[in-house]
Chain A
């Protein structure tokens, strides 16, 4: 397929693998954190780790949008879905994420709640138009990539005079999360996680640009390379990081130049700024309360804010006992370090959010990589009719 195959060819992969092997200093370790779930997915799906030298490890970061949402917010979404007359719309991956009491939106749906999977905010608006006597709530999640479409939907709803549409806003911000990881004691003081550099977000950066990363590259002296989601992008970016590390540089470099600019998408930024504003703090699964790390709907658009329209209590819910998602999201632990991994927690029956999305580190390990540690994970014995 044109414009895709070019970024997945074996010949270039082999060339890059050789270059990486040649330039990586055998006397040291390279721990590169890929922030985005999209990178995690690509690394596993294409077997990129197989092409890396022994002393280069990818550390999986918290950039999986469904993984970082705290359980309390999912509990809120289920409450909304179960409310009379409500149709709750959301993106597919969100449906299976476990909430309190082993519930999920999918289970709520099975018990009669009207939960619909949508591919875009336009679908949610259409559902609102088609069901004027119902309350349609869009459960908005994701990083900066999915934020502009939410802003557009709110503006569109106002322009059309749609009275039955609102948004449960859970959009979060990438730079705040990266900074939080770099400031965490594990990384700063104890040194349990040594991160030598970051593969920067690709789609997120197409919106916000590469400029926002410049502060912490400088402040924390960690190199960042904005990397595309194709496997060759990941390899090329790894090579660029190795060069920076070897030369003692800590700059923001952009590998994904075919999409990302320093300024980003100004139009999208302006749209978001018109409709949404910073929250003082937001809870992230794994990171806890992170200041100024999420967005909320501006009071000028309060009519479209589900949090004001419905009575939603703030819920403090804890993870399933033994679930290591919080540590895995910070790169402190690997999925195979979790006692639940592959025993009671599998993609069929996820206990933690990292096992749900194909961008989650646990699901990626389980689905694509567990042959590397076959004795660590139970062999599934299930029969299929």
Chain B
């Protein structure tokens, strides 16, 4: 007879079970959730240390750290889920400094009643994304809130990374004459999310572009160390991100509408909903501002990478004390590209 007593005699019911308050109480139920769900899928040596923190050696040099909260609704969407998104979001925020991301932490806020099967899918999505990116989740936390006080699951991830020598990327470095590049088509993520929202439900083949961009960034930095700015145009889309950069650098920008890549299905969905693709969120795209002499070399490198296939040069930085981002329209006129005001709401007629 075996003398080993199982720590948790009854396995966590990830088929029919739901999150309850005991899963956040610090007791045995929480330990079981961590072991049988989180550690099982996210497994790595540092997580296995089983401490309240992860310990790892660091090299001399500059590190970056970034944190990002994820509250997306719906939790599952075409092309990903909140778990994969929470990995990509933070990996990208770290990578936009030119850094190589090393480790992630993840804090889960679960709502009582959230199905364990859904939680497992989320954690598996997270594990797959982390493993594909080569950036492990090495420490985490779980809290449970009462029913009605959350929206299923919220995830906050934090990432650290190291910045290569000679790389100095910052939002305040755009200068007049610089070229503005974008790594691919715009608006895919936002449209994918909208298509799966309960009150919209339109059919589209568009999937979220959610992806980790750090290998693309590494290729770019290898080719041209002195990239001036990098930023991922997430909420508020290209328009809002460019306004941020223009404001931070004290410059203006002029874009060429013809050069901005947008998937025709995204254009169609936006047309239908009365939205502007330039304001729709992306989760796997980056904007790069660089010396005009470096633009062609960077585009070449980007287009070789699978996440930069549709990279394009979309405009240039200009002197402008007002910090306006303007667009030369395909139609032949011009207009301001403003910050996003409030949420993008559909037009009435």
- Footprint of B on A, CB under 8 Å? 1, 4, 8-10, 13-14, 17, 36-38, 41, 44-51, 65-66, 91-96, 116-119, 123, 141-143, 145-146, 203-204, 231, 346-348, 357-359, 363, 366-371, 374, 379-384
Contacts and interface: CB of A to CB of B under 8 A. Distances in A.
B324 A371 contact: yes
Contact of A49 (B200, B244, B333, B345): B333
Interface string B250-271: 0000000000000010011001
Nearest to A52: B333
B334 A50 contact: yes
Interface in B324-342: 324, 326, 329-336, 338-339, 341-342
A145 B338 contact: no
A1 B264 contact: yes
Q: Which of A123, A146, A358 has the most CB of B within 10 A?
A: A358
B3 interface: no
Contacts of A44: 335
B252 to A, nearest CB: 9
A65 B200 contact: no
B335 to A, nearest CB: 4
Given A93-B347, A141-B348, A368-B336, 20 more contacts: A1-B268, A8-B330, A36-B349, A47-B332, A51-B333, A91-B346, A92-B345, A93-B346, A96-B342, A117-B345, A123-B199, A143-B349, A348-B342, A359-B348, A368-B335, A370-B324, A379-B321, A379-B323, A381-B247, A383-B247
A120 to B, nearest CB: 10
Contact of B331 (A47, A143, A374, A383): A47
The 10 lowest CB-CB distance pairs between A and B, nearest first, are A47-B333, A347-B341, A92-B345, A50-B333, A368-B335, A46-B331, A367-B338, A145-B349, A92-B346, A47-B334
A350 to B, nearest CB: 9
Contacts of B247: 381-383
Interface residues of B, number: 34
A257 to B, nearest CB: 20
A46 B327 CA distance: 9
B336 A367 contact: yes
B322 interface: yes
22 contacts: A9-B331, A38-B349, A47-B334, A50-B334, A51-B333, A92-B346, A92-B347, A92-B348, A93-B348, A95-B345, A96-B342, A119-B199, A123-B199, A204-B349, A367-B338, A371-B322, A371-B336, A374-B322, A381-B247, A383-B247, A384-B236, A384-B240
Contact of B348 (A17, A91, A367, A369): A91
A367 B341 contact: yes
B168 to A, nearest CB: 21
A203 B349 contact: yes
A95 B341 CA distance: 13
A49 B335 CA distance: 10
A348 B341 contact: yes
Contacts of A96: 342, 345
Nearest to A10: B332
Q: Which of B264, B274, B323, B341 has the most CB of A within 10 A?
A: B341
Interface of B: 199-200, 236, 240, 244, 247, 264, 267-268, 271, 273-274, 321-324, 326, 329-336, 338-339, 341-342, 345-349
A110 to B, nearest CB: 13
Contacts of B342: 96, 347-348
Contacts of A359: 347-348
Contacts of A383: 247
Contacts of B236: 384
Contacts of A380: 339
Contacts of A357: 347-348
Q: Which of B200, B331, B332 has the most CB of A within 10 A?
A: B331
Nearest to B271: A4
Contacts of B199: 116-119, 123
A169 B268 CA distance: 31
Contact of B349 (A13, A50, A146): A146
Given A47-B329, A50-B332, A374-B322, A382 B346 contact: no
B277 to A, nearest CB: 11
Nearest to A126: B199
A119 B347 CA distance: 9
A379 B325 CA distance: 12
B73 to A, nearest CB: 14
Nearest to A17: B332
B331 A13 contact: yes
B235 to A, nearest CB: 9
Contacts of A8: 330-331
A238 to B, nearest CB: 14
Contacts of B323: 379
Given A366-B338, A379-B323, A46 B345 contact: no
B347 A41 contact: yes
A93 B348 CA distance: 7
Nearest to A38: B349
Contacts of B240: 384
Contacts of B346: 91-93, 119
Contacts of B341: 346-348, 363, 367
A91 B273 CA distance: 12
A142 B244 contact: no
Nearest to B243: A384
A379 B324 CA distance: 9
Contacts of B332: 10, 13-14, 17, 47, 50-51
A119 B348 contact: no
B329 A46 contact: yes
A14 B331 CA distance: 9
Contacts of A142: 348-349
A10 B324 contact: no
Contacts of A381: 247
Contacts of B326: 371
Nearest to A11: B332
A371 B333 CA distance: 13
Contacts of B347: 38, 41, 92-93, 357-359
Contacts of A46: 329, 331, 333, 335
B215 to A, nearest CB: 26
A379 B274 CA distance: 27
A92 B236 CA distance: 17
A91 B199 CA distance: 12
Q: Which of A9, A65, A119, A382 has the most CB of B within 10 A?
A: A119
A363 B331 CA distance: 21
Contacts of A50: 332-334
Given A347-B342, A380-B339, A10 B322 contact: no
